[in-house]
């Protein structure tokens, strides 16, 4: 029997994870990370108070202790400031990946260790594989809900105490488990939005902190078709929210380039012919490995975003933390700042940050 701290979000995934561990005979304590309370009055739904009530109700139902860990200042410094700095620089950061590295498996893990807990359990859809040398690997979770991509920047010391009790289960089975166990939040909808900030539109969130810097929306030929409020509000491959009508055949514009020097947002109808939207070469830096170092001899796959398929690549090491990748299949809308996950089969090897994209 192990002493385990279960990260409780108030949702069904973390609740079932805690309940399964308790059913297995472990000593479990639930804890909620209070990261964001929206004291600045941003538009959108930030349901942290309801989430705390739900998490407490689940712990009461399970008969386990419930704690609240306030990390609002640290969250602002390590996640929100990173997010805002990235958009100000014209790149596309990933706050969910950074939240996992800096908060859940960073400060929260450190708190668990200081309190004498042997393991930290979360409701991630990923799996843990332990080896005889005491090292640990992360494997993909159940098909259709795999969240290993969001763990790509974790290091070995962060992974070693981790437990993912529901990682092998498809989402419908987790719902069924919640019903079987009588979990109070069994029917609660999955949360949406920016990590722990809540259901807030990214454009509204950014508008509160970054002033508008308007410019023209132009075609590849240079014809003006509209205006935008700021390049930071748009990303390559974007179709919705441009404020530019479709053509007479109902075909929508897609963002194919951003020109910071002239503040122009470049759009096209036929994205297959748009230079720069599809890339076969890219540079990835700030490489982090989950267990063992990457090598050129490995059959490495990359996953450039959460829902994209993993593809084979050729790897050329520029230094210990930077690689140049040649993709076997041209990739759409790779963007500096995004996270690149590295895999070997089902095994997560680590990740890095896209720095430069080449056609």
Find, among 229, 190, 207, the residue nearest to 43 by Cα: 207
Could you say which of 99, 282, 327, 340 is catalytic? Answer: 99
Alpha helices in the chain (DSSP H): 12-23, 48-62, 72-75, 81-88, 95-99, 108-114, 156-159, 171-181, 202-209
**Of all helices (H) and strands (E), which one includes residue 313?**
strand 311-319
Whether 99 is catalytic is: yes
What is the token pair recorded at 230?
């700021």
Nearest to 276 by CA among 267, 284, 289: 267
| Sign of the Cα pseudo-torsion (58, 64, 125, 183, in order) | negative
Establish whether 340 is a catalytic residue: no
H or E element: which one contains 356? strand 347-358
Query: What CA–CA distance (Å, rounded) separates 22 from 42?
Result: 38
3-class secondary structure per residue, 250-272:
CCCCEEEEEECCCCEEEEECCHH
For residues 7, 11, 12, 18, the Cα torsion angle rounded to the nearest 10 degrees is: 20
How far is residue 73 CA from its own chain's centroid? 20
Task: Specify whether the CB–CB gap between 140 and 127 falls below 8 A.
Answer: yes
Neighbours of 40 (CB within 10 A): 8
The residue annotated as part of the active site, out of 46, 195, 282, 340, is 195
Among 57, 51, 107, 55, which residue's Cα sits nearest to residue 78?
Answer: 107
Active site residues: 99, 195
């Amino acid at each position: 029997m192990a002493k385990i701290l279960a990260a409780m979000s108030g949702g069904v995934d973390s609740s079932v994870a805690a309940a399964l561990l308790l059913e297995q005979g472990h000593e479990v304590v639930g804890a909620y990370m209070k990261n964001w309370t929206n004291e600045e009055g941003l538009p959108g739904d930030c349901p942290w108070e309801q989430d705390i009530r739900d998490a407490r109700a689940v712990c009461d139902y399970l008969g386990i202790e419930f704690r609240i860990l306030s990390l609002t200042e640290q969250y602002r410094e390590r996640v929100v400031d990173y997010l805002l700095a990235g958009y100000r620089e014209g790149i596309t950061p990933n706050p969910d990946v950074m939240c996992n590295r800096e908060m859940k498996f960073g400060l929260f893990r450190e708190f668990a260790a200081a309190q004498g807990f042997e393991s930290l359990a979360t409701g991630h859809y990923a799996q843990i594989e332990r080896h005889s040398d005491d090292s640990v690997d992360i494997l993909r979770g159940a098909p259709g809900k795999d969240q290993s991509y969001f763990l790509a920047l974790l290091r070995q010391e962060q992974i070693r105490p981790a437990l993912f009790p529901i990682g092998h289960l498809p989402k419908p089975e987790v719902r069924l488990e919640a019903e079987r166990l009588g979990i109070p939040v069994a029917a609660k909808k999955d949360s949406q939005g920016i990590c722990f900030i809540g259901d807030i539109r990214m454009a509204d969130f950014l508008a509160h902190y970054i002033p508008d810097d308007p410019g023209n929306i132009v075609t590849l030929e240079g014809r003006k078709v509209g205006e935008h409020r700021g390049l930071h509000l748009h990303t390559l491959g974007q179709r919705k929210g441009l404020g530019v009508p479709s053509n007479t055949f109902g075909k929508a514009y897609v963002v194919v380039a951003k020109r910071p020097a002239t503040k122009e947002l470049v759009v096209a109808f036929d994205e297959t012919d748009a230079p720069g939207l599809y890339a076969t070469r890219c540079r990835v830096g700030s490489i982090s490995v989950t267990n063992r170092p990457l090598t050129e001899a490995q059959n490495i796959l990359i996953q450039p975003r959460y829902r994209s398929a993993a593809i084979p690549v050729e790897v050329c090491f520029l230094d210990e933390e930077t690689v140049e990748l040649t993709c076997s299949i041209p990739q759409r809308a790779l963007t500096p700042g995004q996270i690149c996950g590295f895999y070997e089969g089902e095994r997560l090897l680590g990740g890095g940050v896209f720095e430069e994209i080449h056609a």
